[in-house]
A and B are shown apart, each in its own frame.
Chain A
Amino acid sequence: MEFKSKDFTDKQRVLKIRRLKVGLTGRPAAQPVLNEIDLDIRAGETHCLVGESGSGKSVTSLATMGLLPKDALEVQGGLIDLEGFEITNATPNQMRELRARRIAMIFQEPMTALNPVLRVGEQIEEVLNMHTDLSQSEAKKRTLDIMEQVHLPDVERVYSAFPHQLSGGQRQRIMIAMALVLDPDLLIADEPTTALDVTTQLQILKLIAEMQERHGTAVLFITHDMGVVAEIADTVSVMQKGRIVERAPIRELLTNPQEDYTRKLLEAVPNLAPRPPRSEAAAEDVLTVDRLDKTYGGGGWFRKSEGVHAAQDVTFTIAAGRTLGIVGESGSGKSTVARCIMRLIDPTGGEVRVAGTEISQLSRRQLQPHRKHLQIVFQDPYRSLNPRWTVARSLCEGPINFGTSKDEAMTRAAELMELVDLPRDALDRYPHQFSGGQRQRIAIARAVAMQPDLLVADEAVSALDVSVQAQVLELLEDVQKRFGIAMLFITHDLRVAAQICDEVVVMQKGQVVEQGPAGAVLSDPRHPYTRSLIEAAPGRHWDFANFRALSGAPTAQGATA
């Protein structure tokens, strides 16, 4: 894998942060949020800040922008210097001027950062009107020019579009255009591609690199994704609990990390090499999905309308003890399939057989006894447990519904806590007292309490930090082995799918484009869409866990990134 290896020592220093300390407002004695941060970025350099959630990445960027929420956080020491100008002492007016001209920022969610009732072109133009003396026509010309530069199609039309009329990728391009129109010295990008699909992410990363090349901008790039880091970084700072624990050029960091924490972080990063195939014991099929179909809309009282096919003609089976992954980008219909199987929504056609019973046409009442055969774990660990219920009550809910006595359910709940590696006394606590990873363990315990034949994991590890992600994947496997559960694993992340799935189904726009054993699909993709997904997976040539390039690359042969 090729890393960036340019030397920046002779370039001008754009941002200099020294011994920066940020703490809770008015409480200098409390544990600081940022502790003695040092950072240097030179013109043209991309500096990546990586770390798990809560490590202080975003606070660093907000401090640099002078945007710390005043009633919560304050700078308690150190200095931030932008080309000789000290940000820490700037007046609000100076900061406002600085933010537009010298530092710009792009965010994770372009939809919320853009004004929904103004045309996007006008929003870019407004930046020019506020900070330059350009005439109307010159400002418009400059706006169209920057929109060309970020490769928006048909700029005249996009100019007068509203944010909701554009795709997520296009909106992020608008944000980048807006950030760069005044040619700032420093661009801060806070997880700018996290909300995007992998193929769009790749395009946006390329765009940022191209714009940086053209304008010589220094970039502070914040991300949690090591793959993205490998693609774009010149230098990397690893943050943990408000400190920078390691800083190194990208190649050095990935091949020879010095700190234990960095090592741990890298070891947890999944790669695209599929797991070694498991022996296929002649197990029975637990789940059979046959020509499943879900159409939204359609029908209508007076006129037959087309409707939207959220899932069309989906067919697959999963045997006991095996894992099948459905991968695809947003809108591909992967979650629709999961929800149809769970009967959280009603399929419009096809069959779903779970443990021998066809359930797709059963009424709510008829379905009730079959519910215990299939369970689901959701993406968002903060919302999948009732916040008002103790863990014990959540764990007992299902078994009690199926006639288990309360005492028995409690005994079982205690055993389950052990199984998912949480202390027994956690039973009496409420969900908000746990971390995201712990909550996801509780959600898994709740599903397993039903002793299901099929476990559906709908993006179950997507909201978690990589190290926690690895642990939860391990737990899922452990549970699967122990109880011989069949697992349906829904994910947008091919790298995660490669780690856990025996078979893979690739979906696009509601249709299955490719399916087969994980090894075959990932190393020898047949469909162009699968190939483009694999090519877009960031850092796909690098084996992070072993600090070396990936051998026997499971990637599309002859593909260029």
Chain B
Amino acid sequence: MTEIPTSRHSAFQVLTGLFSLPAGARIGAGPMIAAVVLVLIVLASILAPLYVPYDPLAMNAMARLRPPSDEFLLGTDPYGRDIFSRVMTGGRVSLLIGIGAAVVSVAVGLIIGLVAGFFRAADGIIMRIMDSLMAIPAILLAIALVALNGPSLGSVIIAITIPEVPRVVRLVRSVVLSAREEPYVEAAIALGSSMPKILIQHLMPNTLAPLIVQGTYICASAILIEAILSFLGAGVSTEIPTWGNIMAEGRSYFQLKPGLIFWPGLLLSLCILCINLLGDTARDLLDPRMKKREG
């Protein structure tokens, strides 16, 4: 069912049209649904303070562990806080951590990777440092950082970012290593272009497409790691609701109130599923070789 014009497009052309899809490229129903669901979750989270009926932090001793009703849409937790308000507000922090970690990792990794890929002298040293960073497990690092600085958004983002950066560096470096052998880069050297100019104008654009894909994966895994950290009690402090710490608090009341784990868990899974699906779609569109053979 492949459209001929699509298969005729070279990888270059596909990359050129990074933000304007090549004619004939089709996005299936799955990724479309994923995009819609993700947009809904993100909007709902961002706009949460505007519509949630209760302050997510306000405790109410009179209304503990209420079942879902007109008054409390999803019921209340052991402290009498409205679960619906907490889950929707909690999404803000979870998503912020996901996007923040992705942006920081990609930005830092891009710069280090460009340098490592282009300057032979720097390459060996940088890559050995990256190798050792990769050996640090995110969870342990996070627990250590939280123990040092106390639980905060920053600690969590840093803890997630540090082990992700080497992966981005490797990716960028490999793209630069192959692109720098391209005759057009050698021609630029012959034309007297300076090193920063070659790096930024000729080499960097080659890395953008794979970075977008990598970014989505980092985003998904960061949301998940934050949830795990909060669940372990090493994440963002419990005063700020996140999907992770709502579930952590709900642990001991699971049989009484399964909704405490179910609702944040559902949103979390949906979010990660959608992000990964979109990442796969982006990869297929940007790299035709990865596309599954149809028919």
Interface residue total, chain B, C-beta cutoff 8 A: 27
Q: Looking at chain A's contact residues, is the secondary structure mostly helix, strand, loop, or mixed? A: loop
A342 x B16 contact (CB < 8 A):
no
Interface residue from A27, A72, A387, A398 paired with B12 (Cβ < 8 Å): A387
Chain A residues whose CB sits within 8 angstroms of the CB of B202 once the complex forms: 386
A450 x B183 contact (CB < 8 A):
no
CA distance A378 to B185 in the complex (A): 11
Quote the shortest CB–CB distance from A19 to chain B (angstroms): 24
Quote the shortest CB–CB distance from A400 to chain B (angstroms): 9
The reply to whether the CB of A446 lies closer than 8 angstroms to some CB of chain B is yes
Contact string against A for B residues 265-295, beta-carbon threshold 8 Å, 1 for contact and 0 otherwise: 0000000000000000000000000000011
Q: Which of B194-218 contact A (CB under 8 A)?
A: 194-195, 197, 202, 205
B192 x A402 contact (CB < 8 A):
yes
The reply to whether the CB of B4 lies closer than 8 angstroms to some CB of chain A is yes
Interface residue from A72, A375, A388, A432 paired with B190 (Cβ < 8 Å): A375
Chain A residues whose CB sits within 8 angstroms of the CB of B1 once the complex forms: 71
CA distance A228 to B15 in the complex (A): 39
Chain A residues whose CB sits within 8 angstroms of the CB of B195 once the complex forms: 364
B7 x A385 contact (CB < 8 A):
no
Interface residue total, chain A, C-beta cutoff 8 A: 33
Chain B residues whose CB sits within 8 angstroms of the CB of A371 once the complex forms: 190-192
A383 x B183 contact (CB < 8 A):
yes
A376 x B190 contact (CB < 8 A):
yes
B187 x A401 contact (CB < 8 A):
no
B192 x A344 contact (CB < 8 A):
no
The reply to whether the CB of A89 lies closer than 8 angstroms to some CB of chain B is no
Chain A residues whose CB sits within 8 angstroms of the CB of B122 once the complex forms: none
Q: Which residue of B lies closest to A402 (CB)?
A: B192
CA distance A383 to B181 in the complex (A): 10
The reply to whether the CB of A109 lies closer than 8 angstroms to some CB of chain B is no
The reply to whether the CB of A313 lies closer than 8 angstroms to some CB of chain B is no
B4 x A401 contact (CB < 8 A):
no
B12 x A376 contact (CB < 8 A):
no
Q: Which residue of B lies closest to A381 (CB)?
A: B183
B12 x A432 contact (CB < 8 A):
yes
Q: A71-B295, A401-B192, A402-B192 are in contact. Are A443 and B4 (CB under 8 A)?
A: no
A342 x B190 contact (CB < 8 A):
yes
Chain A residues whose CB sits within 8 angstroms of the CB of B194 once the complex forms: 368, 401
Interface residue from B4, B7, B184, B186 paired with A344 (Cβ < 8 Å): B186
Q: A378-B183, A380-B183 are in contact. Are A372 and B16 (CB under 8 A)?
A: no
A386 x B191 contact (CB < 8 A):
no
Contact string against B for A residues 350-371, beta-carbon threshold 8 Å, 1 for contact and 0 otherwise: 0000000000000010001101
The reply to whether the CB of B193 lies closer than 8 angstroms to some CB of chain A is yes
Q: A24-B4, A378-B183 are in contact. Are A388 and B16 (CB under 8 A)?
A: yes
The reply to whether the CB of A384 lies closer than 8 angstroms to some CB of chain B is yes
CA distance A402 to B192 in the complex (A): 8
Q: Which residue of A lies closest to B195 (CB)?
A: A364
Q: A372-B192, A401-B194, A430-B16 are in contact. Are A25 and B183 (CB under 8 A)?
A: no
Chain B residues whose CB sits within 8 angstroms of the CB of A537 once the complex forms: none
Chain B residues whose CB sits within 8 angstroms of the CB of A446 once the complex forms: 187, 191
B192 x A398 contact (CB < 8 A):
yes
Q: A388-B15, A388-B205 are in contact. Are A72 and B187 (CB under 8 A)?
A: no
A401 x B190 contact (CB < 8 A):
no
Q: Which residue of A lies closest to B5 (CB)?
A: A24
CA distance A386 to B192 in the complex (A): 16
Q: Which residue of A lies closest to B181 (CB)?
A: A383
Most buried by A among B4, B16, B190: B190
Q: A24-B4, A432-B12 are in contact. Are A383 and B184 (CB under 8 A)?
A: yes
7 extra interface residue pairs, beta carbon distance < 8 Å, beyond A72-B7, A384-B183, A446-B187: A344-B186, A369-B192, A378-B186, A387-B184, A388-B16, A401-B197, A402-B192
Question: What are 9 inter-chain pairs, A to B, with CB distance below 8 A?
Answer: A71-B7, A72-B2, A344-B186, A378-B187, A384-B183, A384-B184, A387-B16, A388-B205, A432-B13
